Structure 1
Amino acid sequence: MTTFDAASASPQPTITTLGGLRAAGIATRSLREELRGNLLAALSTGADPWPGLHGLGDTVLPQVERALIAGHDIVLLGERGQGKSRLLRALTALLDEWSPAIAGTDLSEDPFHPITAAAQARARAQGDELPIVWRHRSERFVEKLATPDTSVADMIGDVDPVKVAEGRSLGDPETIHFGLVPRAHRGIVAINELPDLAERIQVALLTVMEERDVQIRGYVLRLPLDVLVVASANPEDYTNRGRIITPLKDRFGAEIRTHYPPELDDEIAVVRQEAHLAADVPDHLIEVLARLTRGLRESPAIDQSSGVSARFTIAAAETVAAAARRRAALAQASREETAVPDGTAAEAVARPVDLGTLVDVLRGKLEFEPGEEGTEREVLEYGLRVATAETARHRLAGLDLGPLVRAFEDGVTVTTGDAVSATALLDGLPDLDEAGLYDAIAERLDAQSDGERAAAIELALEGLYLSRKLSKETGEGQAVYG
């Protein structure tokens, strides 16, 4: 279920009875009419119904919109980390913010159209005095991760022995404890990793999705459930772990393939949106990580049927930021960096030297092809070098770095590393006769502070090394350019 953010919600309506709804002229819509109407309203005003979804606007999202307008249940197929779960959760924004429901019912039934015998009896007896409650849209989205131990009782329901013990007969529909799908009445049911759901459980969903009936241990309850069933699946799961049974696939009106962000800018936007960074990571380093991920998605050493998730790039950015924060803390402790006037530690800014920290940490997030055992580190290091070189060429194209190269030809060396502060790195740079090169590099990479300038100039040094114009010796957490 999505999280209810009370701070961003509009005030809950104050009407408390069915009669109050009638007097206010408030009518209810079916779930599909509600989704269709709100989506079309957003599209007609130019609003973005899918904030935070990058790189899918010309491919996946139009298909989803057509499926919702048609009223279809949806299954999304795609490799891991393609935003399937985020897309399913985004459907919640297309629901009305507040919707009325009969108070005290298990299925949050429509006050104008109750579906259970008990709610119908209450509606007849109480008339316009029927009490109602208001549900926020966040309460109308139910998410279930399919696991092999999921039962029919979990999804559909079962006889409640407590209710039987209270004196009800087994033939009484009131003895039923409803499962997740019926309880999502007038809402959205999202099933992640659908092939992991046992086939007998998938069979139990058939009548719910087609006839909207609920069948529990011989009971056939004609409950016109108003639910939208959406699901996600990884295509190779059909053979590796499980499959979606053919009759259930036929029940989904739309089968939509997802994909990774097609453009580099989209990849970067996803990282900036999702990563929780412990330090400042300049844009050019995020670009390196995005290029690394995109390169791995084309590498013959990586199992492409499993994919390289966007979570890999996000975790890489968080690891690089953590390395920068650790360096700043160590430098502060050793008094290599001083505190700013308010007494807090100097800023922590990631530099290219921090990129090497992610190799050992993140190689377990990739599935390598058989025969690549033992080469995982080499594959990642090579991909990182390629991504760094491409970023340096892209970001510094047109700048003449010749004066910097000539300075090194005179025997100058520059040291960077885990324990080398930004100030120490800048102080160790060679003096150049041609004024303004360091400023030009900083301006090109939008570097303002000392930490950002150090990161920018270090990218230039690494680019020169990767283009074989400088040498570099590494060891004991340090790198010496010369």
Structure 2
Amino acid sequence: MSVQPEIRTVGDLRSAGHVQKTLREEIRDNLLAALAAGENPWPGLHGFDRTVIPQLERALIAGHDIVLLGERGQGKTRLLRTLSGLLDEWSPVIEGSELNEHPYDPITAESVARAALEGDALPIAWRHRTDRYVEKLSTPDTSVADLIGDVDPMRVAEGRRLGDPETIHFGLVPRANRGIVALNELPDLAERIQVALLNVMEERDIQIRGYVLRLPLDVLVVASANPEDYTNRGRIITPLKDRFGAEIRTHYPLELEDEMAVIRQEAHLTAEVPEVILEILARFTRALRESNAVNQASGVSARFAIAGAETIAAAARHRATVRHGEDAVARLVDVDSAVDVLGGKIEFESGEEGREDEILEHLLRTATADAVRAHFRGLDFGPLVEAFDGQRTITTGEQVTAQEFLDALPELEDSDLYDQIASQVGGSTPGHRATAIELALEGLFLIRQLSKETGDGETVYG
């Protein structure tokens, strides 16, 4: 954050050559400048480059109010919050102004009187762009007073007349003047509250207890909603839908790399999680989104994969703590622990009751098989399969250290095979090496070259 300007009066502001812009002009100019300079105005967003972002940029250039439609965990809120980055870093306001009025253009009776009285000596303050973005979670108990305002009984008690505009306590939207108002889960607002937004979004005036205050509010209204609530259930009034200039559909990442990038960016990991484990988790999440057994109207949030990565890392950290000397590196055996606790985040179709664990296990095996094919295509696992002579077994599990697992591996005629397996996944530590070989054994089980038994936190291949 840069240091705020030293200018403190309207006269000095004029002398400095400051030019007043409307909010939409400010956003448009900053967006176009960033695009012309080849900068990315949307940091931290993955998978929207060719779909959502171009639509959003066109809507902002046009100066439209915007509603984002998408299932849970598609990054709608993150996308809305990045809009503040398109505002000027510092913006002048009349010092003490309740509605953050521009020093050149006071709109309330109090500020107009102050400007006329003090002239160029009118004091100003500076607002950072992060203070010009306000967010409200739309809930059924939200009131008109919360969003628009109400008569303040304390001001009336001080002796002001009830019809005096100064008796009004302004709500969130007027206080966000010259800023962005984000309404999350818009359809959850009661219909009478939605009606209160109509004038704000079209005529830019507000009505409070029968008073019409023609304040030229300069706000950009953006919102998020579930498509099913917004388009099908009648939970949003038609006139309000008509006020939004742009309705933009978001989506889950279309590419595997984008899915993994979201997990890397958002997950707070307490141990190292190799890329191949993140890949399996990402493939598993995508398989859930494509499954007919899962309720796709509810969606499979990106938070599912993020929480899964954090749980996998926690399992590795737990093992490293209990088994002293073990590196805190997640392995394939830790993935099952994540699935066990994350199943409740998935909503299955009503006809799948009782089959939830079976569906999760099947889709996880599918994701693992896809990862095996992607990494080990072309390797000859014959020597490893032949090493299992019908008597030999290998045990791994949540509390089996990587070194213990590696020490128990059979010697192979092709002495380089283990190195080749490890090189396909990356990493040279015992933890990474064990991860690669466990994945190879799981792949051989999935193509019925090996058997596998699980129980009590252990897995035995033979």
Of 139, 142, 145, the residue aligned with 1:150 is 142
Which ranges of structure 2 fall in alignment gaps of 5 or more residues?
none
> Which residue is equivalent to 2:210?
218
- Whether the 8 Å CA contact 1:447–1:456 is kept in 2: the answer is no
For residues 101 and 184 of structure 1, the distance between their equivalents in structure 2, rounded to whole angstroms, comes to 12
Per-residue deviation, 1:29:
1.0
Per-residue deviation, 1:372:
1.3
For residues 434 and 382 of structure 1, the distance between their equivalents in structure 2, rounded to whole angstroms, comes to 33
Of 399, 402, 406, the residue aligned with 1:419 is 399
Call closer, same or farther: CA 1:415–1:318 in 2, change over 3 Å. Answer: same
Structure 1 counterpart of 2:91, one-letter code: S
For residues 302 and 459 of structure 2, the distance between their equivalents in structure 1, rounded to whole angstroms, comes to 30
Aligned 1:209-248 pairs, distance under 5 A: 209-238=201-230, 243-248=235-240
> Which residue is equivalent to 1:470?
450
| 2:383 is the counterpart of 1:403 | yes
Of 356, 381, 393, the residue aligned with 2:361 is 381
Which ranges of structure 1 fall in alignment gaps of 5 or more residues?
1-8, 338-345
For residues 427 and 39 of structure 1, the distance between their equivalents in structure 2, rounded to whole angstroms, comes to 58
For residues 159 and 169 of structure 1, the distance between their equivalents in structure 2, rounded to whole angstroms, comes to 11
For residues 418 and 347 of structure 1, the distance between their equivalents in structure 2, rounded to whole angstroms, comes to 13
> Which residue is equivalent to 2:189?
197
Per-residue deviation, 1:198:
0.4
- Whether the 8 Å CA contact 1:80–1:234 is kept in 2: the answer is yes
> Which residue is equivalent to 1:286?
278
Which shifted more, 450-459 or 65-74?
450-459
Per-residue deviation, 1:412:
2.4
Per-residue deviation, 1:240:
8.3
Per-residue deviation, 1:239:
7.7
> Which residue is equivalent to 1:77?
69
Secondary structure at the residue paired with 1:398?
A: coil
Secondary structure at the residue paired with 1:255?
A: strand
| 2:283 is the counterpart of 1:303 | no
For residues 401 and 272 of structure 2, the distance between their equivalents in structure 1, rounded to whole angstroms, comes to 14
- Whether the 8 Å CA contact 1:184–1:227 is kept in 2: the answer is yes
Of 95, 98, 104, the residue aligned with 2:96 is 104
Deviations 1:3-41 (A, max 9, x none): xxxxxx011111111111111112221100000000000
Call closer, same or farther: CA 1:242–1:377 in 2, change over 3 Å. Answer: farther
- Whether the 8 Å CA contact 1:202–1:248 is kept in 2: the answer is yes
Q: Between Structure 1 and Structure 2, how many residues are aligned?
A: 462
Deviations 1:64-120 (A, max 9, x none): 000000000000111111111111011111011111111111111101111111011
For residues 3 and 424 of structure 2, the distance between their equivalents in structure 1, rounded to whole angstroms, comes to 48
Per-residue deviation, 1:442:
1.5
Per-residue deviation, 1:433:
2.1
Per-residue deviation, 1:380:
0.9
| 2:11 is the counterpart of 1:11 | no
- Whether the 8 Å CA contact 1:418–1:478 is kept in 2: the answer is yes
TM-score normalised over the length of structure 2: 0.98
> Which residue is equivalent to 1:447?
427
TM-score normalised over the length of structure 1: 0.94
For residues 402 and 120 of structure 1, the distance between their equivalents in structure 2, rounded to whole angstroms, comes to 86
Aligned 1:25-40 pairs, distance under 5 A: 25-40=17-32
Deviations 1:351-371 (A, max 9, x none): 111111122211111111112
Deviations 1:205-231 (A, max 9, x none): 000000000110011001000000000
| 2:52 is the counterpart of 1:52 | no
Deviations 1:438-479 (A, max 9, x none): 111111111221111111111111111111111111111101
For residues 161 and 210 of structure 1, the distance between their equivalents in structure 2, rounded to whole angstroms, comes to 29
Secondary structure at the residue paired with 1:52?
A: coil
- Whether the 8 Å CA contact 1:327–1:419 is kept in 2: the answer is yes
| 2:58 is the counterpart of 1:66 | yes
- Whether the 8 Å CA contact 1:196–1:241 is kept in 2: the answer is no
Structure 2 counterpart of 1:10, one-letter code: S
Give % identity. Answer: 70
| 2:438 is the counterpart of 1:458 | yes
Deviations 1:397-418 (A, max 9, x none): 1222211111113632211001
Call closer, same or farther: CA 1:286–1:237 in 2, change over 3 Å. Answer: same
For residues 44 and 430 of structure 2, the distance between their equivalents in structure 1, rounded to whole angstroms, comes to 32
RMSD in angstroms over aligned alpha carbons?
A: 1.2
Per-residue deviation, 1:128:
1.1
> Which residue is equivalent to 1:134?
126
Structure 1 counterpart of 2:340, one-letter code: D
> Which residue is equivalent to 1:438?
418
Secondary structure at the residue paired with 2:181?
A: strand
| 2:108 is the counterpart of 1:91 | no
Of 312, 328, 331, the residue aligned with 1:351 is 331
For residues 449 and 356 of structure 1, the distance between their equivalents in structure 2, rounded to whole angstroms, comes to 22
